[in-house]
Chain A
Amino acid sequence: METAPSLFSLYFPIVLMAVVAIGFVVTTMALTHAFGPKRPTKVKDDTFECGIEVKGNARSPFSVKYFLVAILFVLFDVEVIFMYPWAVNFRELGLFGLIEMFSFMGLMIVGLIYIIRRGALKWD
């Protein structure tokens, strides 16, 4: 049996991608800060330039609707994640796996219909 590939060689592409992604962001941000002209004025440093004058602070309670949309997003996000291991083994699991996933999706669709019928995604 051949020796197992080392951890570094196994993940080298991912490490390279992460280094390039982070490096690009850091370099562009550093360069723009270094070379960009800085002429600050009172109006420019306002929270909303050319906007409505700011009243109070940002720490006021927001509507619960944002939270509802976010929590529904998380639920469907996790649902899709369950499909990855199933899709990889799609042929091996065969018809049984298909039925399995359909019953899983069926209940999720019941939930989706409930959400839409209750108007949970309507904003007003």
Chain B
Amino acid sequence: MLSEYIFWFLSFVAVFSAAGMIFSKNPVYSVLSLIVTFFAVAGHYFLLGAQFLAAVHIIVYAGAIMVLFLYVIMMLNLNELEEEKKSLYTKALSFFAGGVLMLVLIAVVRRTEELQLIQPAVYNADLGLTQHLGKVLYKEFLVPFELASVLFLSAMVGAVYLSKKDLA
């Protein structure tokens, strides 16, 4: 009962702060609203029993990725005077692209209900604990885990190469 109330509260917070992120004119306010959205989504993870994921979500997304976003904003030239006006053609295209993405997401969400990925009768509540996650990650998903390190390496090389071009 209580978790249902928490769910509704978190959902409202998530949706409203996400809307605030889009509609805010000031990019720094957008980032702050996005942080609130991330916290609400982390709360949803908690409700789903994925404690580790929730903690990681707060540490990585609300902590580190947000700093990254702020640096991106700092790199952009955001003087109000030079703000470029988008043409009607660009606006229509972006509206179309966003609409298609929304349709795809709705289709996916509808499909998960059909597939019944989560069966409450056999669902193990401890599944999201760090220990269970570790057992699955380091036994069944061994290859993707090792490939993740290759991905990290390529990300490092790419970041260094792009920002330190003068050294090449």
List residues of A whose CB falls within 8 A of some B CB.
Answer: 4, 6-8, 11, 57, 59-62, 64-68, 70-75, 77-79, 81-82, 84-86, 88-89, 92-93, 97, 100, 103-108, 110-111, 114-115, 118-120
Contacts and interface: CB of A to CB of B under 8 A. Distances in A.
Given A59-B77, A85-B138, A118 B160 contact: yes
Contacts of B157: 111, 114
B160 A114 contact: yes
Contact of B159 (A62, A68, A97): A68
B68 interface: yes
Contacts of B146: 100, 103-104
Nearest to B156: A111
Contacts of B3: 7
A65 to B, nearest CB: 7
Contacts of A114: 153, 156-157, 160
Contacts of A8: 2
B149 A77 contact: no
Contact of A67 (B46, B68, B77, B78): B68
B134 A79 contact: no
A79 B159 CA distance: 16
A120 B152 contact: no
A118 B164 contact: yes
Given A7-B3, A62-B75, A85 B130 contact: yes
Contacts of B138: 85-86, 89, 93, 97, 100
Interface string B113-152: 0000000000001000011011101110010011011101
Contacts of A74: 60, 64-65, 68
A72 B52 contact: no
Contacts of B60: 74, 77-78, 81
A66 B74 contact: yes
Contact of A119 (B47, B52, B167): B167
A51 B3 CA distance: 52
Contacts, number: 134
Interface of B: 2-3, 6, 46-47, 52, 56, 59-60, 63-65, 67-68, 71-72, 74-80, 125, 130-131, 133-135, 137-139, 142, 145-146, 148-150, 152-153, 155-157, 159-160, 163-164, 167
A120 B164 contact: yes
Contacts of A110: 153
A60 B74 CA distance: 7
Nearest to B82: A59
Given A75-B159, A106-B149, 6 more contacts: A79-B152, A85-B131, A92-B135, A93-B139, A107-B149, A111-B156
